[in-house]
């Protein structure tokens, strides 16, 4: 299950783990104009862990999810 909320400066997606056993804490994705953050509560430390992706890193991650093993560099197709 997931929710989508539109805040003033970000779109917030919350991913809720509804699997069987070994459930993980909710994952919160905040999409801003210049970056995307991913947050999850660490139950061992009771602290929220945060990772920040640049837009370029997010684009690369999106492409990587659909590619086989290897090393890649994405190029823009700028019409000249």
* 44-69: pLDDT as tens digits: 999 999 999 999 999 899 888 888 88
User: Is a pLDDT exceeding 80 seen at residue 76?
Assistant: no
How far apart CA 61 and CA 80 sit, in angstroms, is 27
Phi-psi region of 22 (alpha: psi -120 to 50; beta: other; left: phi over 0): left
pTM equals: 0.81
Look at residue 62 and give its three-state secondary structure: helix
The confidence band for 79, taking pLDDT boundaries of 50, 70 and 90, is low
How far apart CA 70 and CA 67 sit, in angstroms, is 8
């Amino acid at each position: 299950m997931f929710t989508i909320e539109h805040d003033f400066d970000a779109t917030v997606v919350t991913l809720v783990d509804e699997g069987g056993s070994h459930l993980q804490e909710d994952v919160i994705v905040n999409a801003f104009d210049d970056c995307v953050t991913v947050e999850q509560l660490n139950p061992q430390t009771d602290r929220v862990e945060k990772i920040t992706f640049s837009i370029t890193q997010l684009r690369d991650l999106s492409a990587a999810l659909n590619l086989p093993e290897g090393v890649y560099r994405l190029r823009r197709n700028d019409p000249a």
